Amino acid sequence: MRTTKISIAIDKQQLKRARSAAKTEGLSLSAYIARALGNQLEDQRRIDAARALHASWGDSGIPTAADQVAFLARMTRPRVRRSKAA
Protein backbone atom coordinates (compact mmCIF):
# COMPACT_ATOMS: atom_id res chain seq x y z
CA MET A 1 0.00 0.00 0.00
CA ARG A 2 1.33 3.41 -0.89
CA THR A 3 1.08 6.14 1.67
CA THR A 4 1.05 9.89 1.24
CA LYS A 5 2.10 12.46 3.78
CA ILE A 6 -0.49 15.10 4.54
CA SER A 7 -0.78 18.00 6.92
CA ILE A 8 -3.80 18.34 9.18
CA ALA A 9 -4.82 20.75 11.91
CA ILE A 10 -5.90 19.19 15.20
CA ASP A 11 -6.78 20.53 18.62
CA LYS A 12 -3.81 20.29 21.02
CA GLN A 13 -5.77 18.30 23.59
CA GLN A 14 -7.00 15.86 20.94
CA LEU A 15 -3.44 15.43 19.72
CA LYS A 16 -2.21 14.77 23.24
CA ARG A 17 -4.95 12.16 23.80
CA ALA A 18 -4.33 10.58 20.40
CA ARG A 19 -0.59 10.25 21.07
CA SER A 20 -1.31 8.67 24.45
CA ALA A 21 -3.88 6.27 22.99
CA ALA A 22 -1.53 5.32 20.13
CA LYS A 23 1.25 4.59 22.62
CA THR A 24 -1.11 2.46 24.72
CA GLU A 25 -2.07 0.51 21.59
CA GLY A 26 1.57 0.11 20.58
CA LEU A 27 1.01 2.10 17.39
CA SER A 28 2.61 5.13 15.85
CA LEU A 29 0.42 8.22 15.80
CA SER A 30 0.22 7.88 12.03
CA ALA A 31 -0.96 4.25 12.25
CA TYR A 32 -3.46 5.15 14.99
CA ILE A 33 -4.98 7.96 12.93
CA ALA A 34 -4.98 5.83 9.76
CA ARG A 35 -6.85 3.08 11.62
CA ALA A 36 -9.38 5.56 13.00
CA LEU A 37 -9.91 6.99 9.52
CA GLY A 38 -10.33 3.50 8.07
CA ASN A 39 -12.97 2.73 10.71
CA GLN A 40 -14.80 5.97 9.95
CA LEU A 41 -14.74 5.27 6.20
CA GLU A 42 -16.11 1.76 6.79
CA ASP A 43 -18.90 3.21 8.93
CA GLN A 44 -19.73 5.67 6.15
CA ARG A 45 -19.76 2.85 3.56
CA ARG A 46 -22.30 0.99 5.70
CA ILE A 47 -24.45 4.10 6.13
CA ASP A 48 -24.40 4.69 2.37
CA ALA A 49 -25.39 1.05 1.76
CA ALA A 50 -28.29 1.36 4.21
CA ARG A 51 -29.47 4.55 2.50
CA ALA A 52 -29.32 2.84 -0.90
CA LEU A 53 -31.27 -0.10 0.49
CA HIS A 54 -33.96 2.16 1.94
CA ALA A 55 -34.18 4.08 -1.33
CA SER A 56 -34.80 0.78 -3.15
CA TRP A 57 -37.96 0.27 -1.08
CA GLY A 58 -39.78 3.04 -2.87
CA ASP A 59 -41.60 6.12 -1.64
CA SER A 60 -43.01 4.50 1.50
CA GLY A 61 -39.57 3.54 2.80
CA ILE A 62 -41.11 0.31 4.06
CA PRO A 63 -39.88 -2.97 2.59
CA THR A 64 -42.35 -5.31 0.96
CA ALA A 65 -42.35 -9.00 1.82
CA ALA A 66 -40.30 -9.62 -1.34
CA ASP A 67 -37.82 -6.92 -0.28
CA GLN A 68 -37.46 -8.61 3.10
CA VAL A 69 -36.84 -12.04 1.55
CA ALA A 70 -34.27 -10.60 -0.87
CA PHE A 71 -32.50 -8.76 1.94
CA LEU A 72 -32.31 -11.83 4.16
CA ALA A 73 -31.00 -13.93 1.26
CA ARG A 74 -28.33 -11.34 0.56
CA MET A 75 -27.28 -11.03 4.19
CA THR A 76 -27.07 -14.79 4.84
CA ARG A 77 -25.12 -15.85 1.77
CA PRO A 78 -21.42 -16.56 2.32
CA ARG A 79 -19.13 -13.60 1.86
CA VAL A 80 -16.81 -13.81 -1.13
CA ARG A 81 -13.25 -13.03 -0.13
CA ARG A 82 -11.13 -11.29 -2.71
CA SER A 83 -7.42 -11.86 -2.78
CA LYS A 84 -5.22 -8.82 -2.40
CA ALA A 85 -3.37 -7.69 -5.50
CA ALA A 86 0.36 -8.20 -5.34
Tell me if 83 is assigned to some domain: no
Mean pLDDT of the chain: 89
Instruction: Say if pTM beats, i.e. exceeds, 0.75.
Output: no
Domain count, the chain: 1
Tell me if 84 is assigned to some domain: no
Q: What is the pLDDT of residues 40-79, one digit of tens each?
A: 999 999 999 888 888 888 888 788 898 889 888 888 888 7
Tell me if 16 is assigned to some domain: yes
Closest C-alpha among 50, 49, 67, 69 to residue 58 = 67
Domain that holds residue 17: 12-76
Tell me if 81 is assigned to some domain: no
Tell me if 85 is assigned to some domain: no
Tell me if 32 is assigned to some domain: yes
pLDDT of 86 higher than 60: no
Tell me if 70 is assigned to some domain: yes
